[in-house]
Amino acid sequence: MKFDCDFVVAGSGAGGSAVAARLADGGARVLLAEAGPRARPQEDAARAINLYYANAGLTAGLGNGLFALATGRTVGGTTTINSGTCLRPPSDAPRRWAAAVPGFDADAFSADVEDAWRTLKVAKTPERLAGESTRLFFQGLERLGVRGAEYLDRAAPGCDGAGRCCFVCPRGAKVTAQTAFLEPSLRDGRLDLRAGWRLLSAAASEDPGRPAEAVLVDETGRRRRLRARAVILACGSLATPYHLRRLGVRAGDGLTIHPAAKVFALFDREVRGWSGVPQAGGLQDEAEPRLRFEGAFVPPEIAPLTMPLEGRRLTWWLERYAHVASFGFMVRDCASGRVRYPLGPEMPLIRYAMAPQDVRLMARGMELVARAYLAAGASRVLLPLNRLDNEFESAAQLDAFNWSGVRADELQTMGFHPLGTAGLGRATDGGLRAAPGVYVADGSVVPESLGVNPQITIYAFALGLARRLLAEGA
């Protein structure tokens, strides 16, 4: 039987790069197809979004509100435009998953988490690199008597705090799927990376020993049909289910997103929130463990898109942007949604309705950030609510606000972590196999909302898959 290569991997994000590079390092012939281009740092964050975010950053979901979902479309996938923060999955998760899914090995997965941690050279962010937004939030928490704030672990050993992690790091300091996994394998000529190549469809092997098939379109628009020992889908949680559904696999349900938002605060003095590491610090809510706070600051050129304001009030805030701080929060969601493709794979239709208990946590999140910034001396705060009375000047005004009246449809919500649409044990088995000769290695296999930033978890799933496939082929 003739094979064009051993493995075709579609998608070069966290999962795709890790599995492709490790397979190639193990001696397999791997073609890695990435639909997006290679990324270069851009002066203008809006241009980076336009070039390297899926659908130019306009992917949105609809349910009991409208929310934006950001993912990358470039070599390195979303890791090229992420914040670089690294957190291990919840410590009880691997055992729970192993108990529910035959063939999933909790100990091996935990070892893969540590492998990812080492490979990404994760280290604590030095305090000196934190931006003023973070320092002011921490100061406010201290004045409120809230403990637990910490500088976060990140994968960015040479970071000098240029503050543009989500728009392609201009220093090349952030460790991405590309720098950690692809570049070493490419340097040694072990891996065949094709940027601008898009998977059109995958076909399972009909019998054991027969190849699986991938149909791809290359950068010139020419179709290529490749036969391989296996096709590995790593197109991300919003795209992989399209290919699985075409194979008859029930995928696309179970979407979790970590609903997130941020609060802006205005200070009398300059903050210059764009300098320093934007996501240097964080806090896990002690009373509500499903709520997590993490730094978030966007450069001035895209600030208008992220402030729940318009007209003169927006102009007023933008004129003072050098004095503005902001901090974000996200919820380990109870709700789940789904993704379907009535208009094809490029325009996923995403349905997701926030659960009432998650809306309550969003309200709690914005209240704590607002109180902390006011305690740190802010003259006013701006809540992520699409309503006119979303600015507050004192703790007394926050006391008088009806927090339990916050509605999902008025929240200015974003999701940065779509997960779960081909969940382990649902669309894939314990070995991440979805059909004969077809595997999944991206965020879609994460079977539940994690509550922490997911890249380490996704890398670990992918490393485990590479290890098993190499062992099977030996």
Instruction: Give the tokens for residue 277.
Output: 């590491």
Residues 156-185: x where in contact with ligand FAD by CB under 6 A, - otherwise, as a string: ----------x-------------------
* Residue 159 lies near ligand SF4 (rule: CB under 6 A): yes
* Residue 59 lies near ligand FAD (rule: CB under 6 A): no
* Residue 83 lies near ligand FAD (rule: CB under 6 A): yes
User: How many residues lie near ligand FAD (CB under 6 A)?
Assistant: 41
Q: Dihedrals φ, ψ of 211, to 5°?
A: -75, 155
Q: Dihedrals φ, ψ of 149, to 5°?
A: -65, 140
What torsion do the CA atoms of 125, 455, 457, 351 make, to the nearest 10 degrees?
A: 130
We find the least distance from the C-beta atom of residue 33 to ligand FAD, in angstroms, to be 5
* Residue 98 lies near ligand SF4 (rule: CB under 6 A): no
Q: H or E element: which one contains 242?
A: helix 240-246
* Residue 442 lies near ligand FAD (rule: CB under 6 A): yes
Subset of residues 248 to 287 that bind ligand SF4, contact rule: CB under 6 A: 277
Residue 163 binds which of ligand FAD, ligand SF4, none (CB < 5-8 A, kind-dependent)? ligand SF4
CA 210 to CA 204: how far, in whole Å? Answer: 9
CA 140 to CA 135: how far, in whole Å? Answer: 9
With vertex at residue 212, the alpha carbon angle to CA 210 and CA 214, rounded to the nearest 5 degrees, is 150
Query: Where are any strands of DSSP class E within 253-366?
Result: 253-255, 259-266, 281-284, 291-295, 324-331, 337-340, 349-351
User: How many residues lie near ligand SF4 (CB under 6 A)?
Assistant: 14
Cβ atoms of 455 and 108 closer than 8 Å = no
CA 162 to CA 392: how far, in whole Å? Answer: 31
**Length of the chain as a residue count:** 474
Strand 191-195 to 259-266 pairing: unpaired
Cβ atoms of 132 and 373 closer than 8 Å = no
* Residue 171 lies near ligand SF4 (rule: CB under 6 A): yes
* Residue 165 lies near ligand SF4 (rule: CB under 6 A): yes
CA 231 to CA 228: how far, in whole Å? Answer: 7
Q: Which range, of 156-164, 214-222, 232-240, 284-292, touches ligand SF4 by CB under 6 A?
A: 156-164
| Among the listed residues 443, 447, 451, 464, the single contact to ligand FAD using CB under 6 A | 443
Instruction: Give the tokens for residue 268.
Output: 């009398």
* Residue 130 lies near ligand SF4 (rule: CB under 6 A): no
* Residue 330 lies near ligand FAD (rule: CB under 6 A): no
Q: Which range, of 7-15, 168-176, 420-428, 466-474, touches ligand SF4 by CB under 6 A?
A: 168-176
Q: Which range, of 32-40, 97-105, 181-189, 361-369, touches ligand FAD by CB under 6 A?
A: 32-40
| Among the listed residues 44, 127, 160, 409, the single contact to ligand SF4 using CB under 6 A | 160
Residue 413 binds which of ligand FAD, ligand SF4, none (CB < 5-8 A, kind-dependent)? none
Cβ atoms of 410 and 385 closer than 8 Å = yes
* Residue 384 lies near ligand FAD (rule: CB under 6 A): no
Q: Which residues bind ligand SF4 (CB under 6 A)?
A: 84, 156, 159-165, 169, 171, 173-174, 277
Q: Which residues bind ligand FAD (CB under 6 A)?
A: 10-16, 33-36, 70-74, 77-79, 81-85, 166, 198-199, 234-237, 239, 279, 416-417, 442-443, 453-455, 458
